[in-house]
Structure 1
Amino acid sequence: MKTKVEEEKDVGAVDLSHYMQWVIGVLSREHKYPAVHTYRSTLRSFRAFSGGGAEALPMSEVFTQGRLKEYEEWLMQRMLSLDTVSTYMRTLRAVYNRWAVPGTAGHNPKLFDDVYTKVSSHTKRALTERQFGKLMYADTQRLSEEQRCVLAYFLLMFLFRGMPFIDLAYLRKKDVQGNTIVYRRHKTGRQLTIHIPKEALPLINGCKNRNCDSIYLFPILDGQAKNSGWNLYRFYQAALRSFNRMLRRVAKILLPGVKVSSYTARHTWATLAFHIGMPVGIISQSLGHSSIKVTETYLKPFENELVDKANRELISSVRKSKKRDDLMRNRL
């Protein structure tokens, strides 16, 4: 009887498309729809790079350093962002590591060394304390009702410890238990319990779902009672695009010249928490990250910033010490 690994290798022994479609099926059954979206996009992109036809993509030909480098150059020529290039390359690496398990015969641990697979930090998307305060205490009379609700969602994501938009959209009415929200992160399945701060209450009351038949706390996914799984996730993707478009309009009114997206609230929470001295482990736990390493990716650029600040304080201390000595000598 074949092992699971042997069965997986049989599925993809000839063709990358067959194997990735098989993995996509596994991810779909596990309800990991963001991963399904990423795998489908990667496969579509690689097929376009390979000519766009229905010809086979032998695994042995795809997973060579030369072919992967050609694919990276093809992506770069299309002016894709480094984040997108990295996402496609890391997805292919995950496919390769699943097909040729690390440590087994035939696995090449250096296969992806010459292509871009870095996870860039998004701290540049974070708002400063002052900028976020402008949104938090803004006069919303200039905003339409829809814009006020979009701003409320953005503020709630921050107040709910940097909650991602997908988790906010999928929140159910039954997740609210007294003065807490108990839910599972859509990405990791990890259960989180969040105390509802008093600042969040008027925002919740202003935008909560008025549809008694809906299971959702907010009307972001309303009208999708008959949809589930992949179809519901596709509707969420459309809702996310709509949210970001409207959020940009809100920012243009309240924070002219500042780029804001659904990611900004989460990164702002992590960044400001770091600056007030909150331990990285607590930040990681609050965000529901799978490991502290993920959190460190958010915060890495600020390490040098803090070191430089400490250096300035040290130099200032030495300078003040010299001034005190000079003052004492003059008194003598």
Structure 2
Amino acid sequence: MASIKVKFRPSTVADHEGTIYYQIIHERKVRQLLSDYKVFPDEWDESRSMVITTQKSERKSFILSIRERIRWDVERLIKIARKLDANGLSYTADDVIDEFNRYANEYSLFNFMESIIVKLKQNGKVRTSETYKSALNSFKKFLTSQASKDDYRQDEDIMLDCLTSEVMEAYEAWLKGRGVAPNTISFYTRILRAVYNRAVEDNIIENRNPFRHVYTGVDKTVKRALSLSVIKKIKALDLSLNTSLDFARDMFLISFYLRGMSFIDMAFLKKSDLKNGYVTYRRRKTGQQLIIEWTKEMQMILDKYPENATDYLLPIIKNLGTNERCTYRNVGYNINHNLKIIAQMVGIQVSLTLYVARHSWASAAKAKGIPLSVISEGMGHDSETTTQIYLASLDTSVVDKANSLILKSL
């Protein structure tokens, strides 16, 4: 098997940093692989072939970081050499270097995660790809902030096998320091864990369990349901002089009327989904089919707006040839912004968003004595999947009856 040695090459300029490099020897052929790590001569111990530091050194954390990076690089080079040996084919020291460079290009966290994002989009899982991109962008910002402290790498990226427990704990602490909520932190770390586990399954890296000390659970969120009396106040507001607020209120109400339909499902609801007095659609999040009776309250809102020029039912995505997902997100952002203003107008402290309509319908159903087999209290299950399982098993007329009772109360 090839032998790997860590070497130091001093700078030709006095008092300048020298370069760490790796010497790969195989079948009496010697090759050199330069690293990105630079240290001063007094930070290198030739007898032990390692970088050194002192307790009082201002560069201590930086040097220790380089020491750890060197250890990871050597482990990767040894692993590559063993893999080539196991293949039973002849190879050279140059092959070891080529494989090391290929690994660095393909199996950095950013490159590996970007490849997963591309595959998710190709498979039609656009929303999932967006959540992965969100987590990746968050981690990129973290690494950029850490680079200035010399904690990890001087560039932005990090190798998959360099995701350690210490790195993930530092990321969690960074998020907490920015005031990020526990469930959002868990959202990011669970996505990173899924990416890491895929790399383990693909035999790219060995599992070092880097997520064992960070939070990956889900806290129950603060109840965000509005009472029927508050929804009545929102419904009764005279917003005729402000079309933006009026539209936001209408979309909130129709979400409530449609049994707390999520905004993405509202935006992509098609005219063809409304037939014979019923709306039939599949939830984008779960793929579950739902059937909802179309009521006069819903039709009254729809009649306020010109017929949509597109195939969509509601006046959310209204122009042909636009980026539909971008339009849906922008409209949703504007609606939620205006709902905050409406909340102030009716004197409520709840952070009013479209999603509150979903919680409110569930809470209203409970208040009307609807059995928990029909709807769970304010979506209070640990996962929404649990709620969807029992909803799917019911005769839709039972749920429509519950909806009718709620709407008559307004």
Q: Quickly name the TM-score band, shorter chain normalised.
A: 0.7 to 0.9
Choose the corresponding residue for 1:176, options 274, 279, 298: 274
Structure 1 residue aligned with 2:334: 242
Kindly tell me: are residues 210 and 283 of structure 1, through their superposed partners in 2, closer, same or farther at Cα, counting changes over 3 Å? same
Deviations 1:290-323 (CA, angstroms, capped at 9, x unpaired)? 6217899xxxxxxxxxxxxxxxxxxxxxxxxxxx
Which runs of 4 or more aligned residues in structure 1 lie more than 6 Å from their structure 2 counterparts after TM superposition? 10-13, 293-296
2:107 to 14, 20, 23: 14
Structure 2: stretches of 5+ with no match in the other structure? 1-102, 146-153, 391-410
TM-score (norm 2): 0.59
Amino acid at match of 2:244: E
Is contact 1:147–1:247 with CA below 8 Å preserved after alignment?
A: yes
Aligned to 2:136: 43
Q: CA deviation at 1:254?
A: 2.9
Q: Is the 8 A contact 1:180 1:193 kept in 2?
A: yes
Name the structure 2 match of 1:270: 362
- Deviations, residues 251-277 of structure 1 (Å, cap 9, x unaligned): 222345443111100111122333444
Helix, strand or coil: the match of 2:291? Answer: strand
SS at match of 2:375: helix
Structure with the greater alpha carbon radius of gyration: 2
TM-score normalised by L of structure 1: 0.72
Whole-Å Cα distance in 1 between the matches of residues 273 and 388 of structure 2? 26
Alpha-carbon distance in 1 for matches of 2:276, 2:190: 41
Indicate yes or no: 2:162 matched with 1:61. yes
Alpha-carbon RMSD across the aligned residues, in angstroms, is 3.1
Residue 386 of structure 2 is aligned to residue 292 of structure 1: yes
1:188–1:290 CA contact under 8 A, matched in 2: no
CA displacement at 1:241 relative to structure 2: 0.8
Q: Structure 1's 73 and 26: CA in aligned 2 closer, same or farther, altered over 3 A? A: same
Q: Is the 8 A contact 2:362 2:375 kept in 1?
A: yes
Please state which structure has a larger fraction of its residues in strand: 2
Give how far 1:218 is off: 1.8
Q: 318, 334, 338: which one pairs with 1:222?
A: 318
Report % sequence identity.
32
- Is residue 2:174 matched to residue 1:78? no
Question: What is the number of equivalent residue pairs in this alignment?
Answer: 274
CA shift digits 1:124-161 (9 cap, x unpaired):
2211232223223x142565233222211101111111
Residue segments in structure 1 that go unaligned for 5+ positions in a row: 1-9, 297-332
Which runs of structure 2 are paired with 1:108-257 in the superposition (5 Å)? 111-136=210-235, 138-140=236-238, 144-207=242-305, 209-211=306-308, 213-223=309-319, 225-227=320-322, 231-257=323-349
Question: What's the secondary structure of 1:193's corresponding residue?
Answer: strand
User: CA–CA distance in 1 between the matches of 2:346 and 2:157?
Assistant: 52
* 3-state SS of paired residue (1:125): coil
Contact 1:12 1:59 in 2 (8 A): no
